[in-house]
């Protein structure tokens, strides 16, 4: 425990050096050249930061960064990935017209079924309470619009304990549940020391549409409103910074925005090219967004020259950044800068 602050301080210093240098200094390797999915839940780091689970051509692949080896499993059709521990994956997979949630042991490839159903959206593992959290949703179309329900429950064996439920009737039609839920299924579900960040979309008949952003404790089920944001869009992905109590997200024009919980003051980074998926470093004031690394203190930028809708995933130890862009998956090693800084 005593070594962790030093690790993050070294990482912070390294990122600041990275952001003050040219983009040529950023070292990257290509893990997958094509077929990697650009969607929430398609990439997940193991807790020890050594393995990457990813969806490639609708199949499971696992990359071991310690030996630079990629292994694939064509027997699964995963739609969402999470890690229960360093050797066990929590996989939401397609099973006919339904979805199935299983614990997959990477040691012997055995599977343990936890849930199945046509209304399952995804499942993720809460390391704070050591249970799987199951997200269910159903969509019903009407002549006047759509009705949507989302529930989140704790899985204990085959028992499901629902602690959050949200119903909404909208005056427009929602074509795809997954598109509507992309804000729910992004990394905000693992933010804030085990709490869930829930972006509820509301469209009143007279008032401006808005997102009510909530924090929900999966252990107690208690919720707290963080702020409201006027936007006519339900699919807003948020990324949480634990140290500053701030959230990063794309504004309606696609620019990176940052707002502090409990505040209404929004900071817009309009010098950064538009994007969609922000990813805040776990120990530094640096955000990956679109194609850039952004220092939120001095707005220094490094352009990684990627597609604007790329998704970045920082490793838990903050030393690596995995980015899915235009079907490829790149791994950026910020532990080695220019080939001569190592820690």
pLDDT higher than 90, residue 25: no
When pLDDT is averaged across residues 28-41 and rounded to a whole number, the result is 87
Residue 280 or residue 195, greater confidence = 280
From the list 196, 194, 142, the residue with the least C-alpha distance to 169 is 142
User: Which 8-state DSSP code applies to residue 2?
Assistant: T
Task: Tell me what pLDDT residue 2 has.
Answer: 44
pLDDT higher than 70, residue 186: yes
Are the C-beta atoms of 214 and 222 separated by less than 8 Å? no
From the list 253, 138, 250, 129, the residue with the least C-alpha distance to 196 is 129
Q: Using CA atoms, how far apart are residues 158 and 115, in angstroms rounded to an integer? A: 7
What residues contact 264, with CB distance under 8 A and at least 6 apart?
Answer: 227
Expressed in percent and rounded to 5, the helix, strand and coil fractions of the chain are 10, 50, 40
Q: Per-residue pLDDT tens for 71-104?
A: 999 888 999 999 999 999 999 999 999 999 999 9
Are the C-beta atoms of 330 and 28 separated by less than 8 Å? yes
Q: Per-residue pLDDT tens for 240-288?
A: 887 788 889 999 999 999 998 888 888 999 888 899 999 988 877 889 9
What is the bridge-based pairing of β-strands 328-333 and 320-325?
antiparallel
Q: Which pTM does this prediction carry?
A: 0.85
Phi, psi (5° rounding) for residue 31? -85, -45
Task: Tell me what pLDDT residue 4 has.
Answer: 44
Q: Using CA atoms, how far apart are residues 268 and 265, in angstroms rounded to an integer? A: 10
Max Cα distance, the chain (Å)? 63
When pLDDT is averaged across residues 186-205 and rounded to a whole number, the result is 72
When pLDDT is averaged across residues 66-75 and rounded to a whole number, the result is 90
- How much is the mean pLDDT over the chain? 82
Q: Residue 166: how many CA atoms within 13 Å on its side-chain side? A: 22
Which H helix or E strand runs over 8?
A: helix 3-19
Phi, psi (5° rounding) for residue 316? -55, -35
> Could you give the C-alpha distances from 42 to 96, 196, 328, 339, in angstroms and in order?
20, 19, 12, 30
24-33, 149-158, 186-195, 307-316: lowest mean pLDDT where?
Answer: 186-195
């Amino acid at each position: 425990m005593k070594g962790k602050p030093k690790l993050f301080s070294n990482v912070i210093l390294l990122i600041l050096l990275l952001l003050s240098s040219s983009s040529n200094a950023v070292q990257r390797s290509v893990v997958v050249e094509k077929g990697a999915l650009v969607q929430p839940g398609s990439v997940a780091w193991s807790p020890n930061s050594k393995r990457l689970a990813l969806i490639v051509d609708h199949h499971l692949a696992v990359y071991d960064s310690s030996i630079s080896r990629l292994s694939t499993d064509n027997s699964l059709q995963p739609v969402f990935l999470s890690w229960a521990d360093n050797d066990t994956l929590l996989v939401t997979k397609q099973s006919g017209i339904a979805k199935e949630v299983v614990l997959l042991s990477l040691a012997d490839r055995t599977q343990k079924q936890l849930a199945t159903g046509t209304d399952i959206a995804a499942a993720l593992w809460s390391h704070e309470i050591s249970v799987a959290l199951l997200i269910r949703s159903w969509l019903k179309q009407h002549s006047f619009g759509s009705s949507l329900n989302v529930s989140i429950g704790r899985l204990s064996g085959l028992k499901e304990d629902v602690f959050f439920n949200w119903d909404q009737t909208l005056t427009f039609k929602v074509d795809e549940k997954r598109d509507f839920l992309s804000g729910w299924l992004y990394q905000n579900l693992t933010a804030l020391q085990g709490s869930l960040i829930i972006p509820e979309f509301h469209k009143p008949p007279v008032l401006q549409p808005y997102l009510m952003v909530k924090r929900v404790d999966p252990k107690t089920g208690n919720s707290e409103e963080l702020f409201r944001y006027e936007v006519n869009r339900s699919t807003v992905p948020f990324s949480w910074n634990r140290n500053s109590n701030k959230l990063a997200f794309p504004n309606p024009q696609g620019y990176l925005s940052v707002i502090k919980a409990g505040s209404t003051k929004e900071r817009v980074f309009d010098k950064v090219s538009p994007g969609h998926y922000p990813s805040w470093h776990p120990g530094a004031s640096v955000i990956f967004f679109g194609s850039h690394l952004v220092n939120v203190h001095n707005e220094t930028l490094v352009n990684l020259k990627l597609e604007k809708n790329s998704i970045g995933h920082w490793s838990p130890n903050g030393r690596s950044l995995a980015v899915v862009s235009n079907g490829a998956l790149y791994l950026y090693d910020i532990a080695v800068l220019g080939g001569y800084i190592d820690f």
